[in-house]
Amino acid sequence: MDDELRHLAVAPGALAGLAIGPGATAAVTLVGGPTVVAPASDLATLEAQGVRWVWWSKDTAAALLRTGLRPKRCWDLAAVHRLVAGTWRAEPGRVWALTQGLDMETIPSLQPVDLFTQAVDTGDPHDPVGPDGHLRPEWVEGAWADSDHRLARWAELALDVQERQAQALTSIDAEPHPGAPRSSGRPRLTAMSESAAELICAELEIDGLPFDRDVGERIVAGFVGDRPLTVGDEREQLDALDHTVLEHLPAGIDFDLRSPDQVKSLLRRVGIEVPDTRAWRLEGLRDAHPIVEPLLRWRRAERIRTTFGYPWIDEHVGPDGRLRGHWTGSDGAAGRMTATAGLHNMPAEMRPAVAAEPGHVLVRADLGQIEPRVLAAVSGDPDLTRASHDDDMYAPVAERLRVEREIAKVAVLGAMYGQTTGKGAEALRGLEREYPVAMGYLRAADEAAQGGHDLRTYGGRLIRMSGAIDDGMSAGDVRSRAAARGRYGRNAMIQGAAAEFFKTWAALVRARGSEFGAHIVLCLHDELVVHVPNATADDTAALLGDCLDETAFRWSPPVGERVRFVADTSIIERWSDAK
């Protein structure tokens, strides 16, 4: 079979269903062609021909990466399912059920064999599809890898599901869409970028983020002291940390600083009454009493100790000096990439530890004012589009509204979040007058969501707004619930589109950056960090700008003037060097 795989010839972009089992055994099936089982190392021949792999999830991508092969193109069935179905759950059983038009509530699960289940006719266990049309739960749970035959069938099923997903995307493309007219094929392009994002996630999990352990431990030590060797050492550290706050109280008075209720009591003791102990609230009380400043410092140190301290470094930083967590290409309705292990909420104090390896640098780029620029693009508002041509998009908006820049910014962001009162309320009325197309786009999304109608982002992601239960609620509660849905809907349309834009950009950087030895090591909301050899740093920085322009063109083809997207790009040695 090995020779058969090596001699297969395909056209660039040809689809190939792929499943990888134990021992790196791979099954490959081509459209209208054979299914071949062979060592995964032999897949390099098809990869070199530009095949687009079709797999069930990024688990297959990770298995392929572990063989040393870096796939260029893929179609990730789980990623496309999330796009089409507007849900985070994307197990093979759910993916299959949606494409087959089956009831999600009847998806079978593994059950212990007993007196009641023994008599059930389950058909041929070697067929992945049961008599009810659903995938057999044992196959979903891993039995697809039990033999070469099953491995081959799993790859064949992947190709069948891809065809049905492609048909569903064509139907989405034909749906009515508020705002600017949808260009032909946009949902399919989004499916490809979403798939590429899952591939990036697999690489981020395996490659990790370069992390200077020595610097990281020195940072932690600066907050909580040297690494404790015993339980007693740790107890002494905690007492010393707490003492920095409690020393500002009269002798003999003690409070548990790790209890929000006791912290409120502590503050009440010194004459400060607060409804809660959130950091932003305490920040505004720095001058109220000398204890507030050390309390804020204590909280920062406690967060480092509990979340980003020595145990965190030990658990997530490998012997190779790489910080690793679990990544997913979509967090749900907004569709943003997310990560565990603190990769998406690492405090600024820890960022000096994220450092390029010897002979390398980090190229960091952060999209500027992405939400209003996305709003201009998805709505097709010509006046807001012209405002996007400025480096600072809020400046021309402020000039047009005859308000200060900060007021204009609050108004624009408020419009996207459904805020109708407060600092930018009057300017918001000006937005309705000066940018009616953009505001109409948001209003249409708001009204549809209030009515419980599902939405789709500019790229085709479903945002579920239906299914709300209002029975038995008072009229006031019904209105309040509807208003909340409206705010959520209008914001999700912008945040979702912004996530789609970002992932398209990241996918292009990944594809184009390979010639410079560039590897994406972090995707943080609208920020991209790339690890690259010193010699190609300038070329990579220029590449990020070129890929941004290409993304703007591909993601939002020009109708009249084109929206301008900008990024702040820098070449740095440590993440903390970014301004």
Tell me what pLDDT residue 1 has: 43
Tell me what pLDDT residue 238 has: 93
Tell me what pLDDT residue 365 has: 98
Q: Are 92 and 56 in contact (CB under 8 A)?
A: yes
Tell me what pLDDT residue 579 has: 73
Fold agreement between 322-370+500-577 and 372-495: no
Tell me what pLDDT residue 428 has: 85
User: Which phi and psi angles does 108 have, rounded to 5°?
Assistant: -75, 155
> pLDDT tens for residues 533-561?
999 999 999 999 999 999 998 877 666 78
Tell me what pLDDT residue 557 has: 64
Q: Are 468 and 485 in contact (CB under 8 A)?
A: yes
Q: Hey, what long-range contacts does 387-390 have (CB within 8 A, 24 or more apart)?
A: 388/563, 388/564, 388/565, 389/561, 389/564
- List the structure tokens of 7: 């001699």
Place of tokens 């990769």: 343
Tell me what pLDDT residue 120 has: 46
Which stretches in the chain have pLDDT values below 70? 1-7, 112-122, 174, 176-184, 332-333, 420-424, 467-472, 557-559
Tell me what pLDDT residue 8 has: 72
Separation of alpha carbons 212 and 322, rounded Å: 8
Tell me what pLDDT residue 193 has: 96
Fold of 2-174: Nucleotidyltransferase; domain 5 (3.30.420)
Separation of alpha carbons 89 and 82, rounded Å: 7
Tell me what pLDDT residue 421 has: 67
Place of tokens 């301004």: 579
Fold of 372-495: DNA polymerase; domain 1 (1.10.150)
- What's the CATH code, domain 322-370+500-577? 3.30.70.370
Tell me what pLDDT residue 279 has: 86
Domain ranges of the chain: 2-174, 214-313, 322-370+500-577, 372-495
Fold of 214-313: Taq DNA Polymerase; Chain T, domain 4 (1.20.1060)
> pLDDT tens for residues 163-176?
999 999 998 876 76
Tell me what pLDDT residue 419 has: 75
Identify how many contiguous H helices and E strands the chain contains and give both numbers. Answer: 22, 15
Closest CA to 504 of 539, 472, 462, 457: 457
Tell me what pLDDT residue 180 has: 46
Contacts of 110 (CB under 8 A, 6+ apart): 137, 138, 141
Place of tokens 């184009």: 512
Separation of alpha carbons 576 and 579, rounded Å: 8
Please return the burial class of 248, using the count of CB atoms within 10 Å of its CB with bins 0-12, 13-18 and 19+: middle
